[in-house]
Amino acid sequence: MSIESEKDMVDKLLKGRTMSVYALLLSQGEMGVRDVQRALKFSSPSLALHHLSKLTELDLVRKDEHGIYSISKTVRVGSLSLFIKFGSILLPRFLFLGTLFTAMLILYCIFFLTWPPTGGDLMYIAMGVIAIIVISYESRQIWLLKPF
């Protein structure tokens, strides 16, 4: 099976609650069936086991001899492609761009802003603030798409 067709198959099968289980394992590292059930508030452990089995069949998750599941292959499909794993949490990719714009604006105000501000200063500050607002809004919208 080619890489593209495998990715298409994973993209098609990794939806809904199965995506939530995968995203949870991606952020937490290792978990048992009951841990997944509790974290995602599934009605029974068998429902968590069903989704973990689907992920195991897709070769995305592996199970050790103690019944602990962990990620075996990382894929960026669906809403997961909008996030970056930073430590044990998933953060929207736009958040880093927002941090860059905020730092640039603060540094400009500290080192280059003249008093009284010129038209160029005001334009730079206005564009920086608008960019930060737009990126913050987009980051929040992406955060709401988080699979779990």
Q: Which long-range contacts (CB under 8 A, 24 or more apart) does 101-104 make?
A: 101/128, 101/131, 101/132, 101/135, 102/132, 104/128
- pLDDT (0 to 100) of residue 51: 92
The model scores a pTM over 0.75: no
Single-letter amino acid, residue 75: V
- pLDDT (0 to 100) of residue 85: 83
Span 34-78, pLDDT tens digits:
999 999 999 999 999 999 999 998 888 999 999 899 988 888 777
Span 91-127, pLDDT tens digits:
999 999 999 999 999 999 999 998 899 999 999 999 9
pLDDT band at 140, cuts 50/70/90? very high
Give the separation between CA 126 and CA 120, rounded to whole angstroms: 10
